[in-house]
């Protein structure tokens, strides 16, 4: 299976089911690749997989694809593959890959289950841009017969906030769209802030759509809880010290990286929120404090 076919397969997955997280689509692609792979040795297989992950990362530069890919690789090679026969090994790997895929497809509902109890009746929630996990959380809270109102930031440059507002209206949740610049203005009215994450880094901070950082700073200044909802496959082995330290390949869209030479002219699409501003993280592994994220990562990777 050559690289273009792969990317095409990936894009088809994303198109067919707009609800699927990009990491899940990436992992499905990798699994497909694994099934069709022709290499003769385990080392060759690993190299091919690593290369494919890199290629997918180029196609879609979100953090989740890179983290999901790495976790997949880790998961399938976790136990020592002692079978001398390569096809046996591959069978075991494919089985484990399917298992991994099944586990993570359920992660969004697990997260929603943990989080919706934190939304009290009559709450006013502020969220940022469009996140499918946050949508799921609000959906389950609404299904639980809770009454709440939602403020969504517009989130330029792609106005993703408007899409979020439409989806929420369909669920009959009262929603207001606010300007990105109005976050400080609206903060005194809201009770809590919930955002999704594209990636959760080793320090316990998050990488998310640009504008999240100032939302976090404002909520800290007003002493409002700042909650993050993320699935566990978004945990990534990065450790940014500040905004500049986030690698360029995540900051800009894949096409921009290829097309433009001078990145200083381009506007980054994501920013980094340090762990000191985050109250709690809701993941399918449980409700974690930012310092516990490192604990989980050590368990996953070491």
Partner 1 sequence: MADCGEANGPERKNEIVRAKNEEKELTKEEKQRLRKEKKQQKKQKEKKDDKGSSEKSGREKTLDPLSASQVLSTQSPTQKVPASAPIPVPPSGAPSHSSGAPSHSSSGAPSPADKPAKSKAELKAERRARQEADRASKQQGSSSSSKTKAPASDLNPVVKRLPEHVQVDDPAVVKRLAKKLERQQIPLRSDYGYKVSLFSHLHQYSRKAPLTQLLSIPSSVIHPSIVRLGLQYSQGIVTGSNARSVALLHAFKQVIMDYSTPPNEELSRDLVNKLKPYISFLNQCRPLSASMGNAIKYIKKEISNIPSQYKEEEAKTKLLECIDKYIDEKVVLAAKAISKYAIEKISDGDVILVYGCSSLVNHILCEAFDKNRKFRVIVVDSRPRLEGREALRRLVQIGISCTYVLISALSYVLPEVSKVFLGAHALLANGYVMSRVGTSQIALVARAFNVPVLVCCETYKFCERVQTDSFVSNELDDPDELMVTRKGKTQLEDWHDLSTLGLLNLVYDVTPPDFVDLVITDLGMIPCTSVPVVLRVKNVDQ
- Based on the shown chain and the rule CB under 8 A, indicate whether residue 203 belongs to the binding site for partner 1: yes
Task: Decide whether 104 or 236 has the Cβ nearer to partner 1.
Answer: 236
- Based on the shown chain and the rule CB under 8 A, indicate whether residue 106 belongs to the binding site for partner 1: no
Task: Decide whether 50 or 289 has the Cβ nearer to partner 1.
Answer: 289
Of the candidate residues 50, 88, 176, 291, the single one contacting partner 1 (CB under 8 A): 291
Return d(Cα 201, Cα 199) in angstroms, integer: 6
CA angle 43, 72, 228 (to 5 degrees): 150
> How many residues form the binding site for partner 1 (CB under 8 A)?
15
Of the candidate residues 139, 180, 202, 266, the single one contacting partner 1 (CB under 8 A): 202
Q: How many CB atoms lie within 10 A of CB 265?
A: 7
Subset of residues 7 to 36 that bind partner 1, contact rule: CB under 8 A: none
- Based on the shown chain and the rule CB under 8 A, indicate whether residue 50 belongs to the binding site for partner 1: no
Q: What is the DSSP letter of 256?
A: H
- Based on the shown chain and the rule CB under 8 A, indicate whether residue 294 belongs to the binding site for partner 1: yes
Task: Decide whether 43 or 302 has the Cβ nearer to partner 1.
Answer: 302
Task: Decide whether 24 or 236 has the Cβ nearer to partner 1.
Answer: 236
The residue among 128, 101, 118, 98 whose CA lies nearest residue 198 is: 128
Report which secondary-structure segment, H or E, holds 165.
helix 160-170
With beta carbons less than 8 A apart as the criterion, state whether 247 and 62 touch: no
The residue among 107, 163, 159 whose CA lies nearest residue 137 is: 107
How near is the Cβ of 298 to partner 1 at its closest, in Å? 5
How near is the Cβ of 276 to partner 1 at its closest, in Å? 8
- Which residues face 200 on adjacent strands? 206, 235
- Which residues face 126 on adjacent strands? 151, 193
- Based on the shown chain and the rule CB under 8 A, indicate whether residue 66 belongs to the binding site for partner 1: no
Contacts 24+ apart (CB under 8 A), 53-56: 53/26, 55/3, 55/6, 55/7, 56/6, 56/7, 56/10, 56/26, 56/29, 56/30
- Based on the shown chain and the rule CB under 8 A, indicate whether residue 48 belongs to the binding site for partner 1: no
How near is the Cβ of 104 to partner 1 at its closest, in Å? 24
The residue among 22, 79, 69 whose CA lies nearest residue 48 is: 69
Of the candidate residues 87, 242, 261, 264, the single one contacting partner 1 (CB under 8 A): 242
Is the torsion defined by CA of 216, 217, 218, 221 positive or negative? positive
- Based on the shown chain and the rule CB under 8 A, indicate whether residue 199 belongs to the binding site for partner 1: no
Q: How many CB atoms lie within 10 A of CB 214?
A: 17
Alpha helix positions (H), 107-157: 107-115, 132-143
Task: Decide whether 50 or 291 has the Cβ nearer to partner 1.
Answer: 291
Return d(Cα 27, Cα 21) in angstroms, integer: 10
Task: Decide whether 65 or 238 has the Cβ nearer to partner 1.
Answer: 238
Of the candidate residues 99, 143, 259, 298, the single one contacting partner 1 (CB under 8 A): 298
With beta carbons less than 8 A apart as the criterion, state whether 50 and 73 touch: yes
Task: Decide whether 150 or 216 has the Cβ nearer to partner 1.
Answer: 216
Per-residue x/- track, 249-278, partner 1 (CB under 8 A):
--------------------------x---
How near is the Cβ of 295 to partner 1 at its closest, in Å? 5
- Based on the shown chain and the rule CB under 8 A, indicate whether residue 295 belongs to the binding site for partner 1: yes
List interacting residues with partner 1 (CB under 8 A).
202-204, 237, 239, 241-242, 245, 275, 291, 294-295, 298, 301-302
């Amino acid at each position: 299976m050559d690289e273009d076919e792969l990317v095409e397969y990936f894009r088809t997955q994303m198109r067919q089911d707009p609800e699927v997280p990009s990491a899940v689509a990436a992992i499905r692609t990798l699994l497909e690749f694994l099934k069709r792979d022709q290499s003769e040795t385990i080392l060759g297989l690993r190299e091919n997989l690593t290369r494919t992950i890199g290629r997918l990362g180029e196609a879609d530069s979100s953090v989740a694809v890179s983290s999901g890919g790495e976790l997949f690789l880790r998961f399938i090679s976790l136990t020592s593959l002692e079978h001398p026969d390569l096809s046996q090994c591959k069978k075991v790997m494919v089985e484990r890959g399917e298992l991994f895929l099944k586990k993570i497809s359920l992660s969004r509902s697990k997260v929603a289950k943990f989080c919706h109890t934190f939304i009290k009746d009559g709450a006013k929630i502020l969220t940022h841009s469009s996140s499918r996990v946050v949508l799921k959380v609000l959906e389950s809270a609404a299904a639980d017969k809770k009454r709440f109102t939602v403020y969504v930031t517009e989130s330029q440059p792609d106005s993703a906030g408007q899409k979020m507002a439409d989806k929420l209206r369909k669920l009959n949740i009262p929603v207001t769209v606010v300007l990105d610049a109005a976050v400080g203005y609206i903060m005194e009215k809201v009770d809590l802030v919930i955002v999704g994450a594209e990636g959760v880094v080793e320090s316990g901070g998050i990488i998310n759509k640009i504008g999240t950082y100032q939302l976090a700073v404002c909520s800290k200044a007003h002493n409002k809880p700042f909650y993050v909802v993320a699935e566990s496959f978004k945990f990534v082995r990065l450790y940014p010290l500040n905004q500049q330290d986030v690698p360029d390949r995540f900051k800009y869209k894949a096409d921009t990286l290829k097309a433009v030479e001078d990145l200083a002219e381009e506007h980054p699409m994501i920013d980094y929120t340090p762990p000191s501003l985050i109250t709690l993280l809701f993941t399918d592994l449980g409700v974690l404090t930012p310092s516990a994220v490192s604990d989980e990562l050590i368990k996953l990777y070491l």
